A and B are shown apart, each in its own frame.
Chain A
Amino acid sequence: MSSVAHAPSPVPASRTADLVAASLKRRRRQETRFKAYGIGCAALAVLFVAILFGTILRSGIPAFFQAVMSVDVYFDPEIVDVGPRPEPSEFPTTAAYDAAYLAWQNELAGINFGRIIEAAINAELETPAASRDLRVIYASNERFRLRDMVQADPGLIGQTVPFELIAGADVDVWVKGNIDRSLPESQQQLTLVQQQLVDGMVEDGTMHNVFATWIFTNVDSRSSPATAGLAGAFVGTLYMMLIVIVLTVPIGVAGAIYLEEFAPRNRFTDLVEININNIAFVPSIVFGLLGAAVFINALQLPLSAPIVGGLVLSLMTLPTIIIATRSVLRTVPPSIREAAFGLGASRVQVVFHHVLPLVIPGILTATIIGVAQAIGETAPLLLIGMNAFVANVPSGIFDQSTALPVQLYLWAANENQNFFAARTSAAIIVLLAMMILLNGLAIFLRQRLQTRW
């Protein structure tokens, strides 16, 4: 050993500088090349994201603007031929009032508000159009909007009010140019007469595009696609996410803390750990099957309800939250734990006074990652019947409901692609906006909690 140490170096000191200088060029080239690869990869990623967002926004944003007709609706007393609305004061008991009100409602429901709409459109035209053409031009659910107006305020009967009448889906497609106008009439959605009718209304300004607020306030509709909205799916998703957060955050965080801080290392905890890691990679559709078997068949929970969807998504999210929480717990320096233990703090005190406050921002991030994953999940929801057509906003977690990604799936599969392609993109935008909002909230909370320490 000492002979090697004392032997003359094969590289004399005078040559070291030369040799290093010679190798510098090669080393720099290597560095430059590596940097170029990195920039290339990042640029590619940004490009793909830009393409994705660009395509979605380009096809989705027009869907938020839809063709309407500004017309004056005359609630003709001869058509809206109903008695006065019953008032509670006129009846001795509420049961009697309810019965009378129901009868009045039925009477109202029997009225053909389509005739009123057709008259209103015809009033805007120089030559009245045929009923069969007019029926295509407006969205059929607009009849119910008028009915609801009368139900809310019977004083409208006999009056004329300005009204923004939502045009039918086919009309919207025609106006936006989403169908090739040069196609022969047999391949068009509108007949020649209807086309001319619509073009005339666009020309004189009766028909124009407005921001479609009803996408957010209406529920899905099959008979009247133009008025279909996301309200039901949105509320359904909201309920499910609430269930996911309420279930997975306490259970997941408590589980992670137990495994990381309290559990002894033995065969059993190893088994638990392996299982949690495995569950995290189980295909989501399997959770759907599990949900159908356990929650619906065994526990008799209602089909297509947010409670079942929430439970299934919770099962899926739980491992994600446990794994992520454990990894942030491991980032807490052991010196902090030692300091607290050294002072005589119990395990619970160490965890709650010192470890947890440091990892709350990390737990928030873990939660958001889990929720973001759950919010976009479709496959398991299909298996528990959440792809059912539901034309109501769910009023609770046991009501029938659908979810945003499932709504997306339903719209994407709708045969009226001219209209629903854009609607689907619009739904994607809403879903993405929801996720960005959630992420923003997480970042905001993280910043707040971090500076407070």
Chain B
Amino acid sequence: MEQPVSSVQVTGRDNQAATTPIKVSARGVDVFYGEKQAIKSVSINIPSRSVTAFIGPSGCGKSTFLRCINRMNDLIDSCRVTGEILIDADNVLDRSVDVVLLRARVGMVFQKPNPFPKSIYDNVAYGPKIHGLVRSKAEMDVIVEQSLRRAALWDEVKDRLKEPGNGLSGGQQQRLCIARAIAVSPEVILMDEPCSALDPIATAKIEELIDELRQNFTIIIVTHSMQQAARVSQQTAFFYLGILVETGSTEFMFTNPHDQRTQDYITGRFG
């Protein structure tokens, strides 16, 4: 169920997102690492089928917040998350939510390409296999091909599907990881600085891919590069010292930010 947007935007400013349904909605999310609070009362609405970029200086909590959405922070013993994150109408932070199911709905691509030390085919097939999405080898072949095509990798690897995934170049590995994530057909894809380990050409390819993927997926991308945020995203959220300073349409954020800190950051005064 996708709900219409309510005006819980931090800046309270209307933007284009107001016309699209909201996919992910966070309300008063706090994150603690032991005694230290890493995220302070973050509330944000993320529209469906679009790209939302989280920007901000290092250590501002944007990755931490991203990892709350598929509960990857559960893996860190000292980490405690409070508040609400709704995907459609379900609060993913609820104890009763099964993280296995959640992560099948919310895929993730990491900073460093991390293919499994298995073949290209097995990398893509792994998600559908463990979730029991296919019944036959033929169906699996279809999913693998589709996913690789959608990740714009098919033509480069179709003749060597049995070769190891870590034999590919860095950019190809990252696209393989994207193919692996979309093979499960998630609703949301989280990308944690997916291009920070890649060269400009590979980066351009991934950005192009992200732009295409937003037809089908809700994408949230954490990035260090404001140019990248400007290029690929429709919404931008600026994090600073654990708080969400400002969020709005990318166009507006980069041309006419509301907050002085956002202004300073995007003009390169700090960060």
A-to-B contact residues, CB < 8 Å: 264-265, 333, 335-346, 349, 353-354, 358, 453
Tell me, in angstroms, the Cα distance from A340 to B180 when the chains sit together: 10
Answer whether A343 and B117 are a contact pair too, CB < 8 Å, given A335-B112, A338-B72. Answer: no
| B265: Cβ under 8 A from any A Cβ | no
B183 to chain A, nearest CB (A): 9
| B131: Cβ under 8 A from any A Cβ | yes
Tell me, in angstroms, the Cα distance from A265 to B76 when the chains sit together: 11
Binds A, one of B3-11, B29-37, B96-104, B242-250: B96-104
Q: Which residues of A contact B130 (CB under 8 A)?
A: 343-345, 349, 353
Tell me, in angstroms, the Cα distance from A55 to B77 when the chains sit together: 56
| B169: Cβ under 8 A from any A Cβ | no
Q: Which 5 A-B pairs have the closest CB atoms?
A: A344-B103, A342-B108, A335-B114, A344-B104, A339-B114
Q: Which residues of A contact B115 (CB under 8 A)?
A: 339
B119 to chain A, nearest CB (A): 10
0/1 interface trace, chain B 166-191, chain A, CB 8 Å (1 if under): 00000000000100110010000000
| Contacting residue for B75 out of A265, A333, A341, A345, CB 8 A | A341
| B257: Cβ under 8 A from any A Cβ | no
Is B116 within 8 A of A344, CB to CB? no
Tell me, in angstroms, the Cα distance from A349 to B99 when the chains sit together: 13
Q: Which residues of B contact A353 (CB under 8 A)?
A: 126, 130
| B154: Cβ under 8 A from any A Cβ | no
Tell me, in angstroms, the Cα distance from A349 to B72 when the chains sit together: 16
| B25: Cβ under 8 A from any A Cβ | no
Is A339 within 8 A of B72, CB to CB? no
B182 to chain A, nearest CB (A): 11
Q: Which residues of B contact A344 (CB under 8 A)?
A: 99-104, 127, 130-131, 184
Tell me, in angstroms, the Cα distance from A342 to B100 when the chains sit together: 9
Can you name 16 extra interface pairs (CB under 8 A) apart from A337-B75, A342-B70, A343-B107? A333-B114, A335-B114, A338-B114, A339-B177, A339-B180, A341-B72, A341-B75, A343-B103, A343-B127, A344-B103, A344-B104, A344-B127, A345-B100, A354-B116, A358-B117, A453-B118
Answer whether A338 and B131 are a contact pair too, CB < 8 Å, given A353-B126, A354-B116, A358-B117. Answer: no
A449 to chain B, nearest CB (A): 12
Q: Which residues of B contact A349 (CB under 8 A)?
A: 130
**Which residue of chain A is the closest to B100 with respect to CB atoms?**
A344
Q: Which residues of A contact B70 (CB under 8 A)?
A: 342
Q: Which residues of A contact B127 (CB under 8 A)?
A: 343-344
Prevailing SS type, chain A contact patch: helix
Q: Which residues of B contact A339 (CB under 8 A)?
A: 110, 114-116, 177, 180
**Which residue of chain B is the closest to A346 with respect to CB atoms?**
B100
Contact sample, A vs B, 20 pairs, CB 8 Å cutoff? A264-B77, A265-B77, A335-B112, A335-B114, A338-B114, A339-B110, A339-B115, A339-B180, A340-B116, A341-B72, A343-B130, A343-B181, A344-B99, A344-B100, A344-B131, A345-B126, A346-B100, A453-B117, A453-B118, A453-B164
A263 to chain B, nearest CB (A): 10
| Contacting residue for A342 out of B103, B112, B131, CB 8 A | B103
Tell me, in angstroms, the Cα distance from A298 to B115 when the chains sit together: 54
A258 to chain B, nearest CB (A): 16
B127 to chain A, nearest CB (A): 4
B-to-A contact residues, CB < 8 Å: 70, 72, 75, 77, 99-104, 107-108, 110, 112, 114-118, 126-127, 130-131, 164, 177, 180-181, 184
Q: Which residues of B contact A337 (CB under 8 A)?
A: 75
A352 to chain B, nearest CB (A): 11
Q: Which residues of B contact A264 (CB under 8 A)?
A: 77
Is B110 within 8 A of A335, CB to CB? yes
Tell me, in angstroms, the Cα distance from A340 to B108 when the chains sit together: 10
B150 to chain A, nearest CB (A): 16
**Which residue of chain B is the closest to A343 with respect to CB atoms?**
B127
A341 to chain B, nearest CB (A): 6
Is A342 within 8 A of B72, CB to CB? yes
Q: Which residues of B contact A354 (CB under 8 A)?
A: 116
Is A343 within 8 A of B126, CB to CB? yes
Is B117 within 8 A of A338, CB to CB? no
Tell me, in angstroms, the Cα distance from A453 to B122 when the chains sit together: 12
Is A343 within 8 A of B184, CB to CB? yes
Is A336 within 8 A of B116, CB to CB? yes
Is A342 within 8 A of B77, CB to CB? no
**Which residue of chain B is the closest to A264 with respect to CB atoms?**
B77
Is B110 within 8 A of A338, CB to CB? yes
A269 to chain B, nearest CB (A): 11
Is B184 within 8 A of A342, CB to CB? no
**Which residue of chain A is the closest to B117 with respect to CB atoms?**
A453
Q: Which residues of A contact B100 (CB under 8 A)?
A: 344-346
Q: Which residues of A contact B77 (CB under 8 A)?
A: 264-265
| Contacting residue for B103 out of A333, A336, A341, CB 8 A | A341
**Which residue of chain B is the closest to A265 with respect to CB atoms?**
B77
Q: Which residues of B contact A333 (CB under 8 A)?
A: 114
Tell me, in angstroms, the Cα distance from A200 to B177 when the chains sit together: 85
Tell me, in angstroms, the Cα distance from A345 to B99 when the chains sit together: 9
Q: Which residues of A contact B177 (CB under 8 A)?
A: 339
Q: Most A CB atoms within 10 A — which of B101, B102, B103?
A: B103
Q: Which residues of A contact B180 (CB under 8 A)?
A: 339, 343
Tell me, in angstroms, the Cα distance from A4 to B112 when the chains sit together: 39
Q: Which residues of B contact A341 (CB under 8 A)?
A: 72, 75, 103
Q: Most B CB atoms within 10 A — which of A336, A337, A345?
A: A345
